[in-house]
Amino acid sequence: MDGTAIPRLGRGMKLREDKTRNQWVVMGPERMFVPDEIALEVLRLVDGARSVDAMVDDLAARFAAPRGEIMTDVVAMLDDLTAKGVVTA
């Protein structure tokens, strides 16, 4: 996935709050993922409209971190989530 890609949640994937366990989960067909804090920040920005570049800009501003590093991490995370079917581009 590159900077211009526009990721969205995969078919049937839903990000929702699990109040019983005090966490956020991605619910999918017979699958459930519990994103860590950073993955959750990324997933919250996956809306089918924002590009990866725009997501990285947002995160770099909010976390005051070098854009290049964030881009590397976000792309790796999105590639992993794509392989799992959580995200598609």
CB of 13 to other proteins, least distance (A): 8
Token pair recorded at residue 15: 């990000």
Alpha-carbon span 70 to 18, nearest angstrom:
27
Contacts of 64 (CB under 8 A, 6+ apart): none
Give 60 or 75: the residue with its C-beta nearer to other proteins.
Answer: 75
CB of 37 to other proteins, least distance (A): 20
Give 16 or 62: the residue with its C-beta nearer to other proteins.
Answer: 16
Residues that bind other proteins (CB under 8 A): 10-12, 14, 16, 18, 20-21, 25, 27-32, 82-85
| Residue in 59, 54, 19 with CA at minimum distance from that of residue 39 | 59
Give 12 or 48: the residue with its C-beta nearer to other proteins.
Answer: 12
